[in-house]
């Protein structure tokens, strides 16, 4: 199986069409504008030829996540939870003020904390959607979150586990 | 001759090359790179005491994830899908994140409470960093370095707001870097984020 497939960023593509000429399989010439992933063999000729650097080669199989010691994971979660506590209070403050500028400040602080928590969660074992960890989490949520079961099943189907 | 470092963006003020000694700068002097106040600078000690390396034990067990944790695990996975150009998966994770966020508890509290939590967080980051150092976990160290910057920044903003009140944010825009969480208060955001160096495209105005 091919290791990569080409992906065309349609926001950058200037439709110069060099990729169409160099592609050995015709995958780059597709009515949808996107590469035909079923034909693409990941040779990279299109990416090299593209004058707009609009094509990226994406691995078909993501490398596995770096493992983390449980002690590190715990420590990261601890920090994340202290940030979560701040968000909970900030959300309360946000609800209780009518002053527009104050609302903006609280929103900014919520956003900053959110970015921080997401980073921490990434390193705490949820970096890749294709990881075993994510897969197990989704399996668990499938039962516990009946109202979102459909979405979760779709994710489980679409995300092939890489490890 | 001393050197000082901005704890938010890392800018170095070196007495040896500047005309004015750091100590003699006026109190309203601000970091030329990120605009943080003079109080955000700390002296750079030449013989840096070795990083603390010790595993900080914590006997709390990993338990089932809370709605709050799930909110951000899912929004982070959505970001990861976006990077892989998996748009449908991205939207599904965002939907899950929203679902859990709606269940998130809201707590009555004050800015004072946040300040206390911020101090606690700062200490936890240091403990986590020494654990990660001891266990040679580069990824964790990197993310904790960012976390420390946002934590320092939050402290400065809270202090400023406490001191100046609404004047601090009156008649101005507020921006957040979507990549690292840097908050900028002012009319036009810097061209690149002074902390993580992404272009201003990723610095979003809070509406
Ligand atoms: S070569 Fe690049 S810019 Fe031209 S059509 Fe192909 S992807 Fe688009
Ligand atoms: S990687 Fe090769 S096969 Fe795939 S679209 Fe580009 S040129 Fe065609
Ligand atoms: Zn940034």
Tell me the shortest Cα–Cα distance from A13 to chain B, in angstroms: 15
What are the pLDDT digits (tens) for B77-135? 999 999 888 999 999 999 999 999 999 989 999 999 999 999 999 999 999 999 999 99
Matching fold, domains B1-46 and B171-207: yes
Give the rounded percent of residues in chain A with a pLDDT score beyond 70. Answer: 99
Q: Which of residues 89-108 of B touch A (CB under 8 A)?
A: 89, 92-93, 95-96, 99, 104-108
pLDDT at B56 over 70: no
Query: Rounded to a whole number, what is the distance in Å from the CA of A70 to chain B's nearest CA?
Result: 9
pLDDT of residue B47: 56
| Domain range summary for chain B, segments of one domain joined by + | 1-46, 66-106, 111-167, 171-207
For residues B112 and B115, what is the distance between their CA atoms, to the nearest angstrom? 5
pLDDT at A11 over 90: no
Give the max Cα distance, chain A. 62
pLDDT confidence of B66, banded at 50, 70, 90? very high
Q: Which fold has domain B1-46?
A: Rubrerythrin, domain 2 (2.20.28)
For ligand 2, say whether the CB of A54 is within 6 Å of any of its atoms.
no
Pairing mode of beta strands B3-6, B41-43: antiparallel
User: Which of residues 117 through 176 in chain B touch A, CB cutoff 8 A?
Assistant: 117-118, 120-121, 124-125, 127-128, 131-132, 135, 137, 139-140, 142-144, 146-147, 150-151, 153-154, 157, 161, 166, 169-170, 174-176
pLDDT of B60 > 80? The answer is no
For residue B75, the SS3 value is helix
Question: pLDDT-derived band of residue B52, with 50, 70 and 90 as boundaries?
Answer: low
Lowest pLDDT segment from B2-6, B46-50, B183-187 = B46-50
pLDDT of residue B101: 95
Spatial contact of B100 and B65, defined as CB atoms under 8 Å apart: no
As for the ipTM of the complex, it is 0.84
Mutate to test the interface with A, among B58, B117, B130, B145 (most CBs of A within 10 A): B117
* Per-chain residues with Cβ under 5 A from ion ligand 3: B 177, 179-180, 182, 193, 195-196
Question: Which pLDDT score, from 0 to 100, does residue B45 have?
Answer: 81
pLDDT single digits (tens) A33-62? 899 989 999 999 999 999 999 999 988 887
- pLDDT at residue B195 above 90? no
Q: What is the DSSP string of B91-158?
A: HHHHHHHHHHHHT-------HHHHHHHHHHHHHHHHHHHHHHHHTT-HHHHHHHHHHHHHHHHHHHHH
Q: For CA atoms B134, B136, B137, B143, give the dihedral sign.
A: positive
Residue owning the nearest CA to atom 4 of ligand 2: A40
| Residue A94 confidence (pLDDT) | 95
Q: Which two tokens stand for residue B50?
A: 């070795």
Considering only CA atoms, give the Rg of chain B: 20
Residue B46 confidence (pLDDT) above 70: no
In the three-class reduction of DSSP (H, G, I as helix; E, B as strand; rest coil), residue B58 is classed as coil
Domain made up of B171-207: CATH architecture: Single Sheet (2.20)
**A41 CA to centre of ligand 2 in angstroms:** 6
Residue A68: band (very low, low, confident or very high) from pLDDT cuts 50, 70, 90 = confident
Q: What percent of chain B has pLDDT over 90?
A: 63
pLDDT digits (tens, 9 = 90+) for A122-131: 999 899 999 9
- Check residue A158 and give its pLDDT: 92
Residues B30, B6: Cα–Cα separation, whole Å: 10
Instruction: Please answer yes or no on whether B128 and A84 come within 8 Å at the CB atom.
Output: no
Closest residue in B to A124 (Cα) is: B140
Cα pseudo-dihedral B42, B47, B49, B51, rounded to 10 = 90
- Shortest distance, CA B121 to any CA of chain A (angstroms): 6
């Amino acid at each position: 199986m091919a290791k990569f497939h080409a992906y065309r960023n349609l926001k950058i593509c200037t439709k110069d069409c060099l990729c169409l000429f160099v592609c050995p399989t015709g995958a780059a010439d597709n009515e949808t504008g996107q590469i035909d992933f079923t034909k693409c063999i990941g040779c990279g000729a299109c990416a090299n030829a593209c004058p707009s650097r609009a094509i990226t080669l994406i691995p078909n199989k993501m490398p596995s996540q770096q493992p983390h010691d449980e002690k590190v994971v715990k420590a990261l979660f601890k920090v994340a939870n202290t940030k979560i506590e701040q968000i909970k209070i900030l959300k309360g403050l946000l609800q209780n003020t009518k002053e527009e500028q104050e609302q903006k400040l609280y929103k900014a602080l919520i956003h900053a904390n959110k970015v921080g928590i997401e980073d921490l969660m990434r390193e705490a074992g949820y970096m890749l959607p294709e990881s075993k960890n994510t897969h197990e989490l989704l399996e668990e949520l499938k039962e516990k979150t009946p109202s979102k079961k459909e979405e979760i099943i779709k994710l489980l189907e679409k995300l092939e586990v890489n490890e | 001759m001393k050197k000082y470092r901005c704890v938010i963006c890392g800018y170095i003020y070196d007495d040896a090359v500047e005309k004015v000694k750091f100590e003699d700068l006026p109190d309203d002097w601000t970091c030329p790179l990120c605009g943080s106040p003079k109080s955000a600078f700390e002296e750079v000690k030449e013989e840096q005491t070795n990083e603390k390396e010790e595993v900080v034990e914590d006997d709390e067990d990993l338990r089932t994830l809370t709605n709050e944790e799930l909110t951000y695990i899912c929004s982070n996975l959505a970001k990861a899908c976006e990077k892989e150009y998996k748009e449908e998966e991205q939207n599904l994770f965002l939907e899950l994140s929203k679902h859990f966020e709606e269940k998130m508890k809201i707590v009555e509290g004050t800015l004072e409470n946040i300040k206390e939590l911020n101090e606690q967080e700062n200490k936890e980051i240091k403990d986590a960093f020494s654990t990660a150092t001891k266990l040679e976990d580069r990824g964790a160290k990197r993310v904790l370095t960012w976390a420390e910057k946002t934590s320092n920044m939050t402290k400065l903003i809270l202090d400023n707001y406490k001191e100046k009140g609404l004047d601090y944010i009156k008649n101005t825009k507020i921006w957040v870097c979507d990549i690292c969480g840097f908050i900028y208060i002012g009319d036009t955001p810097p061209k690149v984020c002074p902390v993580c160096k992404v272009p201003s495209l990723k610095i979003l105005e809070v509406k």
